[in-house]
Chains A and B, each alone.
Chain A
C-alpha cells in the first residue's frame, strides 16, 4: 500500500521515519540479542560486555544451555508451562466462545456490550487480592501444586479476552448467511456450530494464541501456588533469580526458553492482533 503519506513526503520526512524505524527495531531487538549472546558465553567472557560477537570477540559455548536444559527441574517446569497454558486455552475457548456468540447475536436485559465489559472488568482486580482466597481454596480442594489448580485460576482471568475478542468476530459473520442456514432448517445450535464457528476460525486462533501467551507468562500465582510438581517456567525463573543470584548465562538461557514460544506464535497472528487487542474499541 503505497500511501500518499509516504509518496508525497519530503526527503527529510522520509529519512526521519526510517531513522525512527531503525532505532525502534534496535531498541526492541537489543534485549533478545543480549540474551542470545550471553547464553553462549563462557563464564570469563561474561563480565566483559564488550565481547559482543560470537566467534569474533569470544568463543561461544553451549555450556549454559546444557546446564539449564539438563536440570530436570527446569524441564519439568517447561512441561508444566506447556500443559497449563494449553489446558487454560482449551477451557477458555470452551467456556468463552459460546458466551461470546450469545452476546454477539442476542439481546439481554443488560446491553451485551456492558456484559462484555463486565468480563473485562475482572482484570482490574490484581491477582494479589485474591491470592489468599485462592491459596485457601486450592488447599481445600487439594489442588495446590497441581496443573488443574492453575488452569482453573488462569481460565478465570483470561475468559475476558475470549469473550471480548470473539464477540467482535461473531458480529461480523453475515447475518444473511445465518438466516439462510435457518431457512434451510438449522437449529440455533447448528447455526452456531456449523456456520458461525467455522467462519470465525481466524478469531479463534488469535484468541487462543493470546490466552496461551498470557498463561505462559503468568508469574504471581505460579510461584505462590505451586512448588515442586506443577511449577511453571515463570516460577522457576523467579526461584533461579533468588538462588543463583546474578548468573548472566543462566538468565540468558532461561529468558530465551521462556520467551521463544509466545514470541514465535505472535508472528503468526500479526494480521489479526491489532484488531483483537483493541477489544472492540475500534470499529474496523
Chain B
C-alpha cells in the first residue's frame, strides 16, 4: 500500500512519525537527560544538605580507579556473570530440548519451568537467606544428609555461590523459552529426517538442534549478559553485599554509595564507568556474534 499522491504521502508521514514520536521522545527525555545529569554529577562534589559544592574534574573517577574495592566489585560481578550465564545457557537449552523431544505431561512441565522468571528477585533473595542458612536451612539440611557441610552465608565465596545458584534458578527459564522458540522454528521434517539416521535424539540435538538454534542462543547470551551485569535485587537481598564487601556486586556498591552514603559524586562516576565498561563488553560480544551469524 503506497501513498498515491503527494498529499497522501504527507498524511502518511504525519501519521507514522506521530505514532512513533511519543515513545521516542519519552525515552530520550528520561534517558538522555538523566545521563547528562549523571555526567554532571560525576564531576561534582555533592554534599548532603548542601547540594553541589564545587566541581572536581575527573577526581571522582581517578579516586574510584584507585579504589581497590571498586575493582573488587567489578571482579565479583564478572565472576557472578561468568558462572551464571553459561550455566543458564546450558541448562536452559537442555531443558528446551527435552520439551522439544516431548514426553507425557510436557505442557505442564513447560508451565512449571517458566514460573521462576516471573518471581520477584528480592523475595527470592530473601527466601534464599533462609534456604541457605546453616541453622535449619533446607539446603544445609539436605547436604547434611549426605555429609556435606558448606557455610553459605558467612563467607564471601559461599554467599556468591548461593547467589549464583539462585540467579541460575531464576533466569534459566529465559534461555529455556528462547531456545524453545528456536527449536520450535526448525521444521518438523528436519527432525524426522535426522531421527531416521541418528542413533538417539541426543545426536539430533548435537548435530541439528544446537547448530540451527545457535543464532538465537547468541542473542540469549547477549541479553543475559546485558541484564546480568547489572544484577542487583537478588544478590542484595541475599547478602547485602556482605559479609563485609565480599559479595558486593557492582550495582550494590553503586547503590550503597548513592543511597546510603549520599555520595552522589562518586555514585554517578561509578555509574558512568559502568556504562562505558558494559558497553565495551557488550559491543565486543555483539560483534563476535554478528560475525558468527552472518
Which of A's residues lie within 8 Å of B, judged by CB? Answer: 1-6, 8-10, 12-14, 17-18, 20-21, 24-25, 27-32, 34-35, 38, 46-50, 95-96, 98-99, 101-103, 105-106, 108, 115, 119, 122-137, 152-153, 155-156, 159, 163, 175, 178-179, 182, 188-189, 192, 213, 216-220, 223-224, 233-234, 237-238, 240-242, 246, 248, 251-252, 254-255, 258-259, 262-263, 265-267, 270, 273-275, 277-279, 281-284
Contacts and interface: CB of A to CB of B under 8 A. Distances in A.
B113 A152 contact: no
Interface of B: 1, 11-12, 15-17, 19-20, 22-24, 26-27, 30-31, 33-35, 37-38, 41, 94-95, 98, 100-103, 106-107, 109-127, 129-131, 133, 135-138, 140-141, 169, 174, 177-178, 180-182, 184-185, 188, 191-192, 195-196, 200-202, 204, 215-216, 219, 223, 226-227, 229-230, 232-233, 236-237, 240, 251, 254-255, 258-259, 264, 267-268, 270-272, 274-275, 278-279, 282
Contact of A233 (B41, B120, B196): B120
B237 A237 contact: yes
B94 to A, nearest CB: 7
22 contacts: A1-B102, A4-B192, A6-B103, A21-B98, A31-B124, A34-B131, A95-B26, A122-B31, A127-B230, A131-B258, A137-B37, A217-B121, A219-B120, A220-B232, A223-B259, A234-B123, A248-B130, A251-B129, A251-B130, A270-B107, A273-B177, A281-B181
- 10 residue pairs, one from A and one from B, having the closest CB atoms: A129-B271, A126-B230, A49-B141, A133-B37, A99-B23, A133-B34, A47-B136, A258-B123, A262-B118, A98-B19
A216 B191 contact: no
Contact of B111 (A2, A50, A189, A270): A270
A120 to B, nearest CB: 9
Contact of B223 (A175, A273, A279): A279
Contacts of A5: 100-102, 191, 195, 201, 204
Indicate the member of B27, B94, B109 with the most A CB atoms within 10 Å. B27
A5 B116 CA distance: 27
B271 A128 contact: yes
A219 B119 CA distance: 12
A137 B219 CA distance: 34
A255 B9 CA distance: 54
Contacts of B271: 126, 128-132
Contacts of A27: 169
A17 B122 contact: no
Contacts of B268: 129, 132-133
A17 B112 CA distance: 16
B19 A101 contact: yes
Contact of B140 (A49, A123, A251, A252): A49
B226 A153 contact: no
Contacts of B188: 3
Given A49-B141, A137-B34, A179-B1, A17 B123 contact: no
Indicate the member of B126, B232, B259 with the most A CB atoms within 10 Å. B126
A131 B275 CA distance: 13
Contacts of B115: 28, 32, 263, 266-267
A137 to B, nearest CB: 7
B119 A95 contact: no
B275 A49 contact: no
B101 A17 contact: yes
A230 to B, nearest CB: 16
Nearest to B173: A28
Contact of A127 (B124, B232, B236): B232
Contact of A24 (B95, B127, B233): B95
Given A156-B30, A282-B185, A132 B37 contact: yes
